[in-house]
Chains A and B, each alone.
Chain A
Amino acid sequence: MANYSTNEFRPGLKVMLDGDPCSILENELVKPGKGQAFNRVKLRNLKTARVLEKTFKSGESVEAADVMDADMQYLYNDGDFWCFMEPDTFEQHQATENAVGDALQWLSEQDICVVTLYNGSPLSVTPPNHVELEIVETDPGLRGDTAQGGNKPAKLSTGAVVKVPLFLDEGEVIRVDTRTGEYQGRVSSK
């Protein structure tokens, strides 16, 4: 792989640090008036999602990480792996439960996700920002309670539990923002 020098560091650049792929979040030049320049860099470890801060000498270089994001369609889960397909090439990739992570609770077959590949293997999965899912379990709806602010937990077809307004019933399809886990609205009712 190529190397990047600190003067090429910019947010989004993927580099290797202590054996793990990391994404640069911030890069700040620190230079005492008479002293040597260095860079204070904030990075996210893409394996653990942890944010760390690291100091590099200006001009120092680090190895680029072979990390790329690709839009892929979620196909199925075979019990051990979650299978994703590149829509253009039909190439399939098997993601571990660890790589799928929190995306697990939002994924329906055929959803288009962003799969982050590291050395060609799925490292993490980002679900679509909005998904439409059916409520499979919730307390019976309270009719006429549409104006009141209260809510109740509802279990969705993928297993996620979100807070929904009291008037909703099982079998209804709702729209959820996967970034916040918040209910956005009712899509249809059966």
Chain B
Amino acid sequence: MLSTTSVTDRNIESIATLQGASAVKSYLQTSPEYFMKRLLAAGSGDIFCLGKAFRSGEAGVRHNPEFTLLEWYRCGWDEHQLMTELGELIETLLPTIAINKYSYAELFAKYFNIDPHQAELSSLQKLAVEAGSSAWSDDSRANCLDLLFSVVIEPQLSDGLVLVYDYPACQAALARCYSDSQGRNVSRRFEAFLNRVELANGYFELTDGQEQASRFAEDQQARKIAGKPPMEIDQHLLAALESGLPDCSGVALGVDRLLMQIEGAASLDQVMPFSWDRC
């Protein structure tokens, strides 16, 4: 769980720890993804990890700085096969659950009558200002889309499991991109929502080490502009990608949130022995 580097994500803050008299900095993992990809590159085959992950500053009804993630990878599968398996997993726990699947663009067409991949940034900003506040008037494409999705679309999703795929290229994170049936460059990333609560995030994984290195560098630049603490790039991960990550899909699922839904609990602290406000 402890590593000398951590993610460069612009919106995820790692918890740093200090070791020894010289206070050498290391980080608690925000997910087991990088370690798992190194195992995959070393030939592990399909793997899963059920364990703790940590994210700084995330505390609330649906957030806790320490939480449990179930993450698994399927070699040779694409994201749609993995979405099917995710649906089967949820069905074994909640046998009567309804499962629906939409593309990101379908949902934006339905609720905003807009193409999230091709709309002008200014029209996304205008919608974001209406849904949020003037603080979004000069914000990025990714941030405007996130706001619109979270504030307008998510609360209107149907009961049960909703799988959303083909996320915008600007939110690709560690997913590979492709040209969809309408020629739009979109990412092969998906998310799962259980009763309108974000439950899981998955990718048809990017295996191109150079592409990954340039995305990390962009993240670092974005962090710098936003005044966030700099994060070193995990060279072990890049080396693993260079040596060859097999084609695979992976997904990470918030176990505490799943328990919350199974139990019908209103907040995470009802399914955790010691949520953050009791620590």
Contacts and interface: CB of A to CB of B under 8 A. Distances in A.
Contact of A34 (B62, B136, B173): B173
Q: Give the 9 A-B residue pairs with the shortest CB-CB distance, closest first.
A: A29-B60, A35-B146, A55-B132, A36-B143, A57-B135, A33-B201, A36-B11, A32-B146, A34-B173
Nearest to B146: A35
B17 interface: no
A37 B150 contact: no
Contact of A56 (B133, B143, B198): B133
Given A37-B58, A55-B131, A57-B135, A30 B151 contact: yes
Contacts of A56: 133, 135
A8 to B, nearest CB: 13
Contacts of B231: none
18 contacts: A7-B57, A29-B58, A29-B63, A30-B151, A32-B150, A35-B11, A35-B142, A35-B143, A36-B11, A36-B142, A36-B147, A37-B11, A38-B147, A55-B131, A55-B133, A55-B147, A56-B133, A57-B133
B270 interface: no
Contacts of B11: 31, 34-37
Given A34-B9, A34-B12, A28 B150 contact: no
Contacts of B108: none
Given A7-B57, A29-B62, 6 more contacts: A29-B63, A34-B11, A54-B133, A55-B133, A56-B135, A57-B135
A180 B240 CA distance: 68
Contacts of B142: 35-36
B146 A36 contact: yes
Contacts of B61: 28-29
Interface string A17-60: 00000000000111111111110100000000000001111001
Interface in A50-107: 54-57, 60
B135 A31 contact: no
Interface string B112-144: 000000000000000000011101100000110
Interface of A: 7, 28-38, 40, 54-57, 60
B212 interface: no
Contact of A31 (B63, B151, B171, B191): B63
A152 B269 CA distance: 48
B52 to A, nearest CB: 16
A7 B58 CA distance: 11
B27 interface: no
A85 to B, nearest CB: 41
B149 interface: yes
Interface of B: 9, 11-12, 57-63, 131-133, 135-136, 142-143, 146-147, 149-151, 171, 173, 191, 198, 201
A20 to B, nearest CB: 15
Nearest to A57: B135
Contacts of A40: 151
Contacts of A34: 9, 11-12, 171, 173, 201
A15 to B, nearest CB: 13
Contacts of A29: 58-63
A54 B132 CA distance: 7
Contacts of A33: 191, 198, 201
A55 B135 CA distance: 10
Nearest to B128: A55
Contacts of B143: 35-36
B58 A38 contact: no
Nearest to B13: A37
Contacts of B9: 34
Nearest to B59: A29
A55 B150 CA distance: 11
Among B133, B149, B191: residue with most chain A CB under 10 A: B133
Contacts of B147: 36, 38, 55
A7 B59 CA distance: 10
Nearest to B61: A28
Contacts of A31: 11, 58, 63
Contacts of B146: 32, 35-36
A11 to B, nearest CB: 14
A50 B146 CA distance: 28
A54 B131 CA distance: 9
Contacts of A7: 57
